[in-house]
Each structure stands twice: as structure tokens, then as C-alpha cells.
């Protein structure tokens, strides 16, 4: 799930935090199991490992991913999602690969870094490859059920009012922030 906000690093950090909190709350996936990366250029990536959702390769998986990502982003009130990556021919850079334009690495980041690390700090952090320290992915029934529901096109309240701006925090994120789990 690539998050991009036209070079506005602070907005990208906020969008990434919001999406990570939403995925944790809605899918029941522990934060340490989400793969969150600084792209090395102009955004972040959030990856839910396939085993967590119980999915396997198939012909139209890219379309399924696009549908799920767009739904999650809409529910979380995020507009800055790069959906172009979900075509069949797009390559997704590996972690610790160098970005051709910036020379920075696609670096694994923690949720804490999404709060504490500014643009200058992120550039320093991504200047060299970094070790990943995510939890090993395991099947999570709740996450798999939510994924299947999204694919079936179930209405998850997609008609609910989305926040008018990122200054308004979705209730699920508000709840997580107030529970001191960060």
C-alpha cells in the first residue's frame, strides 16, 4: 500500500500512521507484523504479508489488492494512495534496494519512527541498508475474513462520512492513540 503525498513528508507520515492504525484495528493485525517502509524517495509502503490474509498467487491478485487498498484508504480518510502500482507488470522494489533517483534505500521503519523521525532524520536513516525486525507472519482469521469480505464487495460502511481533512482523526485511530499503544 504505497502512500504518497506530493513530497509533503509530514502529510505522508500522518497518512502512514493513520493507515497503520486503521489496519491494526480493523484487521486485527499486530503492528509488529505490518511491514512499513520508507520508499527511499517520496513515500512509504505498508505491506500486509500474504500468509496473514491466507492468500496465494492467482491471475487477478493485483486487482484484488487494488480493490482492498482503495477501500481501506477510503474508510481511513486517506486520498494519497498510489494505485498505479497494482497493474500486472509493475515491479515492487525489494527492501534495502537503492532508489535510482535519490540513492536512498527502501528502509524498514517502525511505527515509533513515524512519530519521531523528520525528513532529515529519515534521509540519514535510509542512507544505508537496514535490518528488518518484523514479527514472522502468521495466519490471522479476522484479517483473512475481512480481506475476503472486501473482495466480495461487502459494504463496510463505505457510505460513512470520511474525514474532510487529515486534521480530523478517524474514531478508530482516535481510540488507538488514546489507549497508549504507540
C-alpha distances in Å from residue 123, one per residue of 35, 82, 104, 111: 19, 21, 7, 17
Segment 7-60, tens digit of pLDDT: 688 998 999 999 999 999 999 999 999 999 999 987 899 999 999 999 998 888
Q: What's the CA gap between 50 and 64, in Å, rounded?
A: 12
- Of the candidates 51, 57, 82, the residue with the CA atom closest to the CA atom of residue 69: 82
| Residue 127 CB contacts under 8 Å (≥ 6 apart), including other chains | 104, 105
The 10s digit of each residue's pLDDT in 46-103 is 999 999 999 998 888 888 888 899 888 888 888 878 888 888 777 778 999 999 999 9
Check if the beta carbon of residue 108 is closer than 8 Å to that of residue 95. yes
Q: What share of the chain is helix, strand, coil (3-state, %, to 5)?
A: 45, 10, 45
172: number of Cβ within 10 Å: 16
The pTM (predicted TM-score) of the whole model is: 0.78
Q: Round to whole Å and give the CA distance between 34 and 36.
A: 6
- Compute the chain's Rg from CA coordinates: 16
Helix residue spans in the chain (DSSP H): 9-27, 50-53, 61-76, 111-116, 119-125, 141-152, 171-178
Amino acid at each position: 500500500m504505497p502512500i504518497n503525498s506530493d513530497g509533503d513528508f509530514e502529510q505522508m507520515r500522518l497518512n502512514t500512521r493513520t493507515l497503520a492504525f486503521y489496519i491494526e484495528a480493523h484487521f486485527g493485525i499486530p503492528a509488529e507484523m505490518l511491514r512499513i517502509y520508507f520508499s527511499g524517495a517520496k513515500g512509504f509502503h505498508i505491506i500486509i504479508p500474504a500468509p496473514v490474509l491466507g492468500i496465494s498467487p492467482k491471475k487477478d491478485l493485483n486487482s484484488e489488492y487494488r480493490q482492498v487498498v482503495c477501500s481501506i484508504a477510503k474508510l481511513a480518510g486517506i486520498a494519497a494512495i498510489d494505485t498505479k502500482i497494482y497493474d500486472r507488470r509493475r515491479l515492487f522494489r525489494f527492501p534495502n534496494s537503492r532508489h535510482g533517483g535519490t540513492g536512498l534505500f527502501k528502509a524498514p521503519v517502525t511505527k515509533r519512527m513515524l512519530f519521531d523521525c523528520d525528513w532529515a532524520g529519515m534521509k540519514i536513516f535510509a542512507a544505508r541498508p537496514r535490518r528488518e525486525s518484523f514479527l514472522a507472519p502468521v495466519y490471522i482469521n479476522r484479517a483473512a475474513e475481512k480481506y475476503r469480505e472486501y473482495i466480495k464487495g461487502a459494504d463496510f460502511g463505505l457510505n460513512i462520512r470520511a474525514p474532510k481533512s487529515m486534521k480530523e482523526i478517524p474514531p478508530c485511530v482516535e481510540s488507538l492513540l488514546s489507549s497508549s499503544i504507540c
